[in-house]
Amino acid sequence: MRSPSRSIVTEGQVQAYAQSWLSENLSLEDAGWKCTAQMVWRMLLLAAARMTSIYAACRDLAEAPSDDALGNALDAWLPKRTQTLEAWFEPVLAGQWLPKALFRKARIVAIDWHVIPYHGEPERWSNELRHGPPKSGTTKSHTYATACIVHQGFRYTLAVVGVKQHASVVQVTERLLERLAALGLDIKTLLLDRQFCTSPVMAALQAREIPYLMPLILRGRKAKRRKGKPGRKRPLTLRDFRRQKAGRYRFTWTGPQKGRTTVTFDVVVAYKSHPHPKTGRRRSKKLLFAAWRVRGTPVEMRELYRKRFAIESSYRQLGQARIRTSTRSPVERLLFVLIALVLRNLWVWLHWTYFAEGPDDELELHLERLRFRRLLNWISHVLTESLHDGTAYCT
């Protein structure tokens, strides 16, 4: 049982933790007597906590460097490729601060990607932006795939990769799995979103012997009924499972993707009940899942997959701590996403270390003791107090 005295943490400690996570794992050179490495991290944390731009963070504080000096320091420090920056942040996202108990057993991992709409033009190459369904008035976006541990409500983001236009879903999945393997994390079950429902992805996961669970997507138009030859049975398709009862069925699927990959898995047919938005009557909806080496009844599989939606909360909190910018640089935009995820991992770590109660295997969360928005307000308050002289803010 954890001691109640460990539930005390101050705003100064929170800001010091955030800055040490970044500065100890990422060496940044000083860009001048005022724009030092520590000052750069403090301004980046302030902009993230305020959910504003670097320009707005610098112009409000008397002791802060100019936004031009800060921008020049970032340009000199940041690498040219997003893959290099992803590798730099590996020890920050999953370094020595993470509880070692997470790596003692195989864990449930959720994989998804996050789309940030973009209305501008690419910096250099057109494949920097990914095109997809319209969102916020544009079809272009900067897309990032993340891998997140799902364990008793503690959701640590361990790996982040940028998704370019010509990157296949298999390539993105392989890159995330390589990052997790490098960390020494054993995957108990991999929970994936619907865009990963392709036969090449399933084949790649089975080749790595990773159990997975994902929703089945019925693509294409409904096939027309044709009269077959007498005595000849039509082959079973994925759409036929919509007429099956709740249960588990073995199925061999040859996907429509290039290469015609054939893969065998279990189709789990389950139901969920929900009230009608107008009448209030309870209605049931049939759910189809693709499972491989994951045991359980249809109800247990449905409840297991519900844990994947925890990663959506991480994306919502990412938006609360992401620095706003109009830059075209994909590397700088990735940096702002990674800083937001580091702050979110810090918030999860604080709850694990200070506020959770009970043994390590059955921890009880108390999220009301420190909300993520309060953590950001604490960081903003500490940095504002140290970098402002009390004069009136610029208008």
Query: E-strand spans in the chain?
Result: 107-117, 130-135, 138-150, 157-163, 187-192, 212-215, 247-254, 262-275, 282-292
- Do the Cβ atoms of 40 and 67 come closer than 8 Å? no
> Are 343 and 195 part of one and the same domain?
yes
Strand (E) or helix (H) holding 91: helix 90-93
Same domain, yes or no, for 94 and 193? yes
Say what the pTM is: 0.90
Domain membership of residue 325 (yes or no) is yes
- Residues 336 and 196 both lie in one domain: yes
Within 10 A of 212 (CB to CB), how many other CB atoms are there? 25
Q: Are 316 and 379 in a shared domain?
A: no
Q: Are residues 136 and 190 in the same domain?
A: yes
Is 290 part of any domain?
Answer: no
The set of residues, in sequence order, having a beta carbon less than 8 Å from that of 62 and lying 6+ positions away, is 387, 388, 389, 391
Specify the CATH number for the domain of residue 315: 3.30.420.10
Same domain, 309 and 196: yes
Distance CA 153, CA 23 (A): 28
d(CA 148, CA 122): 29
Tell me the residue range of the domain where 67 lies: 1-77+365-395
Helices (H) and strands (E) in the chain, counts: 12, 9
Q: What is the C-alpha separation between 202 and 206, in angstroms, rounded?
A: 6
Answer yes or no: do 165 and 88 share one domain: yes
In a domain, residue 242? The reply is no
The number of CA neighbours under 13 Å toward the Cβ of 359 is: 2
Is there a single domain that holds both residue 94 and residue 125? yes
Task: Please state, as a whole number, how many other Cβ atoms lie within 10 Å of the Cβ of residue 318.
Answer: 22
Residues 314 and 352 in one domain: yes
In a domain, 264, yes or no: no
Q: Are residues 117 and 189 in the same domain?
A: yes
In this structure, are 50 and 191 located in the same domain?
no
Residue 115 corresponds to which tokens in the numbers above? 């789309």
How many CB atoms lie under 10 A from the CB of residue 88?
16
Domain assignment present for residue 70? The answer is yes
The angle at the Cα of 309, spanning 304 to 313, to the nearest 5 degrees, equals 145
Q: What is the pLDDT along the chain (395 residues), one digit of tens a residue?
A: 455 446 688 999 999 999 999 988 888 888 888 889 999 999 999 999 999 999 999 988 888 899 999 999 999 999 999 999 999 998 899 877 788 888 888 999 999 999 999 999 999 898 999 998 999 999 999 999 999 998 888 889 999 999 999 899 999 999 999 999 998 899 999 999 988 999 999 999 999 999 999 999 887 666 566 555 555 566 678 888 888 899 999 999 987 766 678 999 999 999 988 787 788 788 888 999 999 999 999 999 999 999 898 888 889 999 999 999 999 999 999 999 999 999 999 999 999 888 888 876 678 888 889 999 999 999 999 999 988 766 765 55
For residue range 12-40, what is the model confidence (pLDDT) as tens digits? 999 999 999 998 888 888 888 888 999 99
Domain count, the chain: 2
